Amino acid sequence: MSVTRNMAESATFCNGVTSRTPAEKPEGIAMTSVIYTDADGTARTLEAAPGESVMTLATRNGIPGIVGDCGGVLSCATCHVFVDSDDIDMLEPMSDMEDEMLDGTAVDRADTSRLSCQIFPEKCSRDLHVTTPSMQE
């Protein structure tokens, strides 16, 4: 069996996760909604494709408050978000590197802070709520 990939529509990050465009989403797999609330209280809801991070989904759709300067390789911390306290337990634990990077965010970290490039909605059992900080840089 051979596998053909359209490299123009996908990217593999250093953590081995492949980001795909919605066009590559396998049929029959439910999408997960991410609800982004900005610092002013405006909420926007987007559907994440399998393999897509919260950061990639946001930057692809112009969500304010998430920059993602490094493209998801854990070297900028401009993708900082506050995860809703009711949702934080459904995420995989953060790595030591993510924990270190959160000490360098523009807005001080909180107990539910995460880097959105390390959150993959497809692994969530339900919709995910995040709040973006007032600034990233």
CA distance 52 to 36: 15
The Cα–Cα gap between 75 and 137 comes to: 13
Query: Among residues 27 and 137, whose Cβ is nearest to ligand FES?
Result: 137
The residue number whose beta carbon is nearest to ligand FES equals 117
- The nearest distance, CB 114 to ligand FES, in angstroms, is 10
65/68 with CB nearer ligand FES: 68
- Count CB neighbours of 59 within 10 A: 20
CB 85 within 8 A of CB 112: yes
Q: Could you tell me if 17 and 51 are in contact, meaning their C-beta atoms sit under 8 angstroms apart? A: yes
Closest CB 99 distance from ligand FES, rounded Å = 12
Q: How far is the CB of 83 from ligand FES (least distance, A)?
A: 14
Q: In this complex, which beta carbon is closest to ligand FES, that of residue 117 or of residue 128?
A: 117
Task: Identify which of residues 6 and 95 has a Cβ nearer to ligand FES in the complex.
Answer: 95
Q: How far is the CB of 46 from ligand FES (least distance, A)?
A: 17
- Which positions lie near ligand FES, rule CB under 6 A? 55, 68-70, 72, 74-79, 101, 115, 117
* E runs forming strands in 4-112: 10-12, 18-20, 32-37, 43-48, 80-83
